[in-house]
Amino acid sequence: MEQRLTMIGLGVRDVAVAREFYSGVLGWTPSNDMGHIVFYDLGGYFLSLYGEEALAEDAALPFERPLPAFRGMTLAYNTNSPAEVDAVFETLRAAGAEILKPPQEVFWGGYSGYFRDPDGYAWEVAHNPGWTIGSDGRARPAEGTASGDP
């Protein structure tokens, strides 16, 4: 797995409140605002704000207070194809990594799975058909889309 970071997903209690903070307080402009999820382009990687319970469900993690198993965020590594996602998971399995959710087609039209690092942080490995990952490791939206809509 190449060393890169493509998206930081923050689980938030209230997307509207979080959007107001990032847009209103920090002055950031969403690259895509779908109401239930907001994306910010951070110059080669993205930050997403997503309801914490929905994000926990997508990662196949329990949601509870306090957050012992799910810490309110995931880290994402994106690839250019579902086959690359599978190859990463083959390497992870061979290394004995804890697989939270095997790679599969997902509701937003992509293909992804989740694993946990030794410290308990959840990582998603995903192929988003609306993105291309350049040779520099940066995610780029497909032509004709504002953010590579998921």
Kindly tell me if the per-residue pLDDT of 121 is higher than 80.
no
The segment with the largest mean pLDDT, out of 38-47, 108-117, 137-146, is 108-117
**Distance between CA 61 and CA 27 in Å, rounded?**
32
Kindly tell me if the per-residue pLDDT of 147 is higher than 60.
no
Q: According to the model, what pLDDT value does residue 28 have? A: 85
Contact 42, 7 (CB under 8 A): no
Q: What is the largest CA-CA distance in the chain?
A: 45
Which domains are assigned to the chain?
Answer: 7-141 (3.10.180.10)
Q: According to the model, what pLDDT value does residue 26 have? A: 72
Of 18, 48, 20, 44, which is closest to residue 32 (Cα–Cα)?
48
- Tokens coding 104: 């599969």
**108 or 119, which is more confident:** 108
Kindly tell me if the per-residue pLDDT of 149 is higher than 70.
no
**Which positions ≥6 away from 51 have C-beta within 8 Å?**
11, 12, 13, 14, 15, 36
Q: According to the model, what pLDDT value does residue 146 have? A: 53
How does DSSP classify residue 145? -
